[in-house]
Amino acid sequence: MQGIRRIRIDQELRKIYKDLGTEVDIKKKRLEWIGHVARMDQGRTVKNVFESKPEGNRRRGRHTSRRRRLKDVEKDLR
């Protein structure tokens, strides 16, 4: 019966294409980015910002702190 189409659900598509899901993909990309930054030359701005330690009081609002980003990466590695 060629020509019959049907809608597949997300779980079927993930199984067919061996997709691990969005959450795993985000963790993988985060680890790739950290590895990229770690290999950068010392003079690069991104590397300097990544390795810097924040000073002063924490700002109010939705700003993500460096400490939290590092904890997220450590959690991804586990």
Whole-model pTM over 0.85 = no
Q: Is 9 domain-assigned?
A: no
Instruction: State which residues form the domain around 26.
Output: 21-52+63-78
Q: Is 6 domain-assigned?
A: no
Convert the pLDDT of each residue in 30-57 to its tens digit: 889 888 988 989 999 888 888 877 777 7
Q: Is 42 domain-assigned?
A: yes
Q: Is 71 domain-assigned?
A: yes
Number of independent structural domains in the chain: 1
Q: Is 74 domain-assigned?
A: yes
Q: How far apart are CA 13 and CA 19, in angstroms?
A: 8
The HSE-up count of residue 52 (CA atoms within 13 Å, CB side) is 11
